[in-house]
Amino acid sequence: MASIKDVAAEAGLSVATVSRVLNGHPSVSADARTRVLAAVEALGYRPNAVARSLRTDTTRTLGLVISDVLNPYFTELARSVEEEARALGYSVIIGNADERPDLQDHHVTTLLDRRIDGLLVSPTDGGSPRMLEAARAGTPMVFVDRWIPGVDVPVVRSDGREAVRDLVAHLYGLGHRRLAIIAGPAATTTGRERVDAFREALAAYGLDLPGAYIGQGDFQAGSGRRVTEGFLDLPEPPEVVFAADNLMALGALDAVRARGLRVPEDIALAAFDDVRWFVHTDPPVTAIAQPTGELGRAAVRALVDRIEGRPGESVTLPARLVVRRSCGERGPTRPPSPSPTRSPSPAQSPSPVRRSTS
């Protein structure tokens, strides 16, 4: 492959001049510029990004470590991240952790070895050593979706608290009283938060969330299926299962179908994360939708801000409830205003974008 030296020789100039032309440096004569450009054209020259990175100590590359590529939520996130990054002149290298801390660590390590300019992470666990080290060492970093408490890194995420309240109001309105949840791993923030939000919302209606109604999942379909089977085996099974992500909801559907039961007649189902397929499942699944695209874009902007020396703020965007038929009759409508036993919570429409600086 042609190098800058070849171009210099072809143009009858020095490599310095060639470099200057290529980088739009002002002090180059028009003549030199045209000769260089002609040589570049003639040789089909393309600058070696590896050499350039070594010299400038910047790669114009962002690393993105996501928890699971097979999860449509992350896939959509990855797409918007790449899109925004491209618009800002950066490339993205994706590492898929498959919800495994060891794989996450592997990818963080290789990304750091490649000297990426910044790291976007949705941590699978409470913080792998390599990642914490990178954060402390000053590698520009932003958490997206999930985060690690106590680490001084901006967080871009969505807050599902309101939407979960709306969901519980909806379920309560349909007459459901025994509500269960398939939780995500306790090591993740989203794993804990969604349970907390659910419990809080239930409490507002005077409902309890007993231990037997909290199933431990791992954000994968298999665990959703196992947990749901456990629920169905209970002496008093729940009337509703709320899956903390879309894949566990899929697993729940598997379990219900395997028993020959029906949703929502025999058991109702709702999910955190909305995906296109939920429109066409049997029945269409009521879900909490995150503004995924906006999340990805905001995360990139925050990270690039950090990289380029600007502050880089945390962002929290609201999620919203999308009612379908999987929780019982009363088709697709707006969530009902709560008529709770003792709750204060006013029926609040999805609030506008809220930002909070970290």
* Residue in 5, 34, 87, 114 binding a second copy, rule: CB under 8 A: 114
Burial grade of 310 (CB within 10 A; 0-12, 13-18, 19 or more) = exposed
Task: Using the minimum distance from each CB to DNA, give the nearer residue, 111 or 240.
Answer: 111
If one asks whether residue 294 binds a second copy (CB under 8 A), the answer comes out as no
Our finding on whether 342 is near a second copy (CB under 8 A) is no
38 is an interface residue for DNA by CB under 7 A: no
**Cβ atoms of 148 and 286 closer than 8 Å:** no
Look at residue 343 and give the partner it binds from DNA, a second copy, none, a contact being a CB closer than 5 to 8 Å depending on partner kind: none
Q: Is position 44 an interface residue for DNA (rule: CB under 7 A)?
A: no
Longest CA pairwise span in the chain (Å): 87
Q: What are the phi and psi torsion angles at 160 (to 5°)?
A: -95, 0
Nearest to 71 by CA among 163, 190, 167: 190
| Residues 76-107: b if buried by 16+ CB within 10 A, e if exposed | bbbebbbebbeebebebbbbbbbbebebbbbb
Report the site for a second copy in 194-253 (rule: CB under 8 A).
221, 250, 253
Nearest approach in angstroms of CB 44 to DNA is 12
Report helix, strand or coil for 255: helix
Between 49 and 68, how does the x/- string for binding to DNA read (CB under 7 A)? --xx-xxxx-----------
CA pair distance 329, 334, nearest whole angstrom: 13
Is 26 or 344 the residue whose CB approaches DNA more closely?
Answer: 26
Can residue 32 be called a binding residue for DNA (CB under 7 A)? yes
Joined together, the tokens standing for residue 309 give: 């020396």
Cβ–Cβ contacts within 10 Å for residue 344, how many?
7
Q: Find out whether the peptide bond into 238 is cis, omega within 30 degrees of 0.
A: no
**Which of 72, 123, 127, 184 forms a contact with a second copy (CB under 8 A)?**
72
Nearer to DNA, 46 or 276 (CB): 46
DSSP collapsed to 3 states, 112-143: HHCCCCEEEECCCCCCCHHHHHHHHCCCCEEE
In our burial notation (b when 16+ CB lie closer than 10 A, e otherwise), range 19-28 reads bbbbeeeeeb
Binding-site partner at residue 72 among DNA, a second copy, none, CB < 5 to 8 Å by type = a second copy
Counting contacts by CB under 8 A, is residue 279 touching a second copy?
yes
Query: Using CB under 7 A as the criterion, which residues of the chain lie in contact with DNA when the complex forms?
Result: 1, 3-5, 12-17, 19-20, 22-23, 26-29, 31-32, 47-48, 51-52, 54-57
Query: Using CB under 8 A as the criterion, which residues of the chain lie in contact with a second copy when the complex forms?
Result: 1, 44, 46-51, 53-54, 59, 69-70, 72, 75-76, 78-79, 82, 86, 91, 93-94, 96, 106, 109-110, 112-115, 133, 137, 221, 250, 253-254, 257, 276-277, 279-284
